[in-house]
Amino acid sequence: MDLAFAQKVLVKAGVRFDCGLKPSEFDRIERAFGFGFPPDLREFLSLGLPISRSWAGWRATEEGDIRERMAWPLEGMCFDIEHNGFWLTEWGEKPGDLNAAFDIARLEVGRAPALIPIFGHRYLPAEPYTTGNPVFSVYQTDVIYYGVDLLDYFQNEFRYYFGRPSHALTGTPRTIPFWSRLVS
């Protein structure tokens, strides 16, 4: 299965597409947000840009939606630090001051590969810059693999249309620094 076929299935699932992103649009987006689209996501978005509700609005004139989506994982983590006692042991002792704890979380997330929003709270890491990065579902610190790669993700998210009876990974996802640690 390839990405062009996946888009045809997504159309049957009700996803609306606009013409794909052009090289100049990719360049503008990557400069604005400080990451590079991995090759498979770049190919998918160049074939056609999803414009239905819950999809990342890469062509929108307002950058606010993308910035909010990119901030969502850190904001959720800070919520869990404050309200649910979340803290990773490798960060050392948790500071008593909440703002200091947030600063550490901000620093650690800043060191991690950027998460590129795809659909809702599903993200593809920008690094490594190669095909086959897993897709994560991120809701606060509840992080799971939603696909071993982009195609597997589409088959899980829109499983009925792909004939998949349930959410199931088709292999072992690539380990992504920091984010895969949250899965475990």
We report the CATH number of the domain holding residue 41 as 3.40.1580
Average pLDDT across each block of 10 residues of the chain; the chain has 184 residues. List them in order.
90 96 95 95 97 90 83 97 96 96 97 97 97 97 97 96 92 97 90
Predicted structure pTM score? 0.94
Q: How many CB atoms lie within 10 A of CB 56?
A: 21
For residues 37 and 27, what is the distance between their CA atoms, to the nearest angstrom? 10
Distance, C-alpha 112 to centroid of its chain: 13
Domain interval for residue 118: 3-183
Q: Positive or negative CA dihedral for 133, 37, 9, 58?
A: positive
pLDDT at 61: 57
Helix (H, G, I), strand (E, B) or coil at 88: coil
Q: Structural domain tally of the chain?
A: 1
Q: Identify the bridge partners of residue 18 per DSSP, sorted by sequence position.
A: 49
pLDDT at 62: 62
